[in-house]
Structure 1
Amino acid sequence: MIRRVVSVTVAAAILLSAGVVARADALEHQRVEAIAELTALAAQAHSAAQRTDYLAGAAERAEADTADRAAVLSVRPAFVVELKALRAALDGAKGKVDTEAHRASALSAQQTVLAERANPDTVTAATATVHALTAKVGGEVTAWQAAQSSGPGGPAWTTSGPDGYARVRAALDRVGGGGVGLYESSSCAGGNAPACANSSGYIKYRADIANWSESRLNWAMAHELAHIHQFRVWGALNSSSAYGSLFGGDPEFLANCMAVVRGYPGSVGCNGEQQAWASGIWVGAVR
């Protein structure tokens, strides 16, 4: 009987121990799962914190970028104003001074401004550059006008103005008279002739021819330039029998033919023999 009680007691103890072990295993499993869940939650929290930090930084960068762009945009209008002023100065300088280098500098400044997104100081510096270019062009035009301001009998122009003068000057340069003086005057044949050449080596023009067509103006300047070359060989020219036979000793007819040779025909033409003879006067040869 005592043995049976002990046996039952031992069996119960064994069963109780097995239950305790099973319960401990279950608790350990739950603990492991809890730790794993906590680790995952911690990782998620860390990831969320990192994303929050990234988004906060991105927002700060976007705000800073927006502020930079706003600062750049705020100084652009001043650049546009200066660019318009330079464009007007360049237009006014046409036919008077060479502005290619100034145009290239302005284009470079404009490209710099268009590319700038963050630094307003870059735009401000470009604005100052364009302002300086405008002042430089204005100074060069003023110097050009001063250089043209005097000639035989007075200023280089009066009623034709600087633009009219520049147009006639360009025509004379175009036909080969770059080194020849040019002045406005109404004294050519008492005002009846639109232009005339002086034996001292300069040409005068009547104000209205500044409005002539380009082809007619080119012819007029080629004709007067021909007279300048005639004056250079005047003695030999008037002693030439060929001059008398081919042109009747008429310097106007010869000047027309000389203009034809240069590629600027007027209303009066000349034949091949006359052109061949007239071409020599351009190089100082009288045959």
Structure 2
Amino acid sequence: MLSVTVAAAILLSAGMVARADALEHQRTDAVVELTALAAQARSAAQRTDYLEGSVERAERDTADRAAVLEVRPAFVTEIKALRTAIERAEGKVDTDTHRASALSAQQTVVAEKVDPDTVTAATATVHALTAKLTGEVSDWQAAQSAGPGGPVWTTSGPDGYARVRAALDRVGGGGVGLYESSSCAGGNAPACANSNGYIKYRADIANWSEGRLNWAMAHELAHIHQFRVWGALNSSSAYGSLFGGDPEFLANCMAVVRGYAGSVGCNGDQQAWASGIWVGAVR
């Protein structure tokens, strides 16, 4: 009996140990599975956070783009107004600077995707350009309607005046005042420039050939540019050595630089120096 009892106890203990081992394996497996599930949960949470962040960013970008699109039509309206102003200004005032500024503003607007304030600022810039150009054209028209000595023409007629005006515009004098007068050197000079910034012409030059008329206007326009740097010009030693201090000779060379040569030529050094006066540079 004792032997059977001991044997039974040994078997029972062995069974308990086996079950304990099995339970330990199950617990270990459960821990491993739980750890894997936790990792998957963290990964899922991270993906969720990323997706939520992406959605929020997309929503913000969409809102910003919508805000930019909302203010763009005003910019387009101002660009159209400036284009019209530039067309009206052709042949009257220089529009190159206005065009360049408008192009820069347009490139800024095209590149801007998220900031409506940038587009609004560009719109204001173009509006200001239009106002400035319109004012310049108004000043030009006022200068054409009457000269300091009276009407823009007396005997050359509207067609004659228009021909001289076209020549002056052609050589770069758009916006420079022009009117007919017989007062240039008592009528002995066909045209002359005034230090106040306008040009007078004798009626008969309206019948000159186009080439000669272009040269005459380029020459007088050169004097206008000389007046703008008059002090520095007469203080320049190079002016004395290259041109003998003669503004007429310098004006001829300045006309040559613009492509309108008269009867008096000048060499390369003289032309190079004279070209600076067109842009206000005295060397």
TM-score over 0.5 (shorter chain): yes
1:200-279 matches, cutoff 5 A: 201=192, 202-203=200-201, 217-222=210-215, 279=264
Task: Give the 3 Å change call, closer, same or farther, for CA 225–29 of structure 1 in structure 2.
Answer: closer
When Rg is computed on C-alpha atoms for both structures, the one with the higher figure is 1
Match of 1:148, SS state, is helix
Partner of 2:232: none
Partner of 2:134: 138
| Aligned-partner Cα distance in 2 for 1:96–1:103 | 15
Task: Give the 3 Å change call, closer, same or farther, for CA 49–169 of structure 1 in structure 2.
Answer: same
Return the TM-score normalized by structure 2: 0.61
- Report the alpha carbon displacement of residue 15 of structure 1 after superposing the two structures with TM: 1.1
Does residue 8 (structure 1) correspond to residue 7 (structure 2)? The answer is no
Instruction: Select which of 138, 141, 146 maps to 1:150.
Output: 146
| Aligned-partner Cα distance in 2 for 1:65–1:126 | 21
Partner of 2:21: 25
Instruction: Select which of 82, 95, 114 maps to 2:110.
Output: 114
1:151-191 Cα distance to aligned partner (Å, 9 max, x none): 3551369856x9877523224x46xx99x974379xxxxxx
Amino acid paired to 1:7: S
1:18-57 Cα distance to aligned partner (Å, 9 max, x none): 1100001001101111121112112112211221121111
Task: Give the 3 Å change call, closer, same or farther, for CA 27–126 of structure 1 in structure 2.
Answer: same
Return the TM-score normalized by structure 1: 0.60
Taking only aligned residues, the RMSD between alpha carbons, in angstroms, comes to 4.1
1:119-163 Cα distance to aligned partner (Å, 9 max, x none): 111101110110001101111121122223213551369856x98
Percentage of identical aligned residues: 62
- Report the alpha carbon displacement of residue 94 of structure 1 after superposing the two structures with TM: 2.9
Aligned pairs, number:
212
Match of 2:119, SS state, is helix
Instruction: Select which of 21, 24, 36 maps to 2:32.
Output: 36
| Aligned-partner Cα distance in 2 for 1:120–1:205 | 57
Task: Give the 3 Å change call, closer, same or farther, for CA 89–204 of structure 1 in structure 2.
Answer: farther
Does residue 168 (structure 1) correspond to residue 164 (structure 2)? The answer is no
Task: Give the 3 Å change call, closer, same or farther, for CA 198–141 of structure 1 in structure 2.
Answer: farther
Amino acid paired to 2:152: P
Task: Give the 3 Å change call, closer, same or farther, for CA 223–109 of structure 1 in structure 2.
Answer: closer
| Aligned-partner Cα distance in 1 for 2:124–2:218 | 45
| Aligned-partner Cα distance in 1 for 2:10–2:141 | 124
Preserved contact between residue 168 and residue 218 of structure 2 (Cα < 8 Å): no
Task: Give the 3 Å change call, closer, same or farther, for CA 70–264 of structure 1 in structure 2.
Answer: closer
Does residue 52 (structure 1) correspond to residue 48 (structure 2)? The answer is yes
List gaps (5 residues or longer) in structure 2.
193-199, 220-255, 266-283
1:190-243 Cα distance to aligned partner (Å, 9 max, x none): xxxxxxx9546432569x98xxxxxx53344447999xxxxxxxxxxxxxxxxx
Task: Give the 3 Å change call, closer, same or farther, for CA 20–166 of structure 1 in structure 2.
Answer: farther
| Aligned-partner Cα distance in 2 for 1:148–1:82 | 28
List gaps (5 residues or longer) in structure 1.
186-196, 210-215, 227-261, 266-274, 281-287
Preserved contact between residue 140 and residue 177 of structure 2 (Cα < 8 Å): no
Preserved contact between residue 96 and residue 166 of structure 1 (Cα < 8 Å): no
Task: Give the 3 Å change call, closer, same or farther, for CA 114–19 of structure 1 in structure 2.
Answer: same
Match of 2:145, SS state, is coil
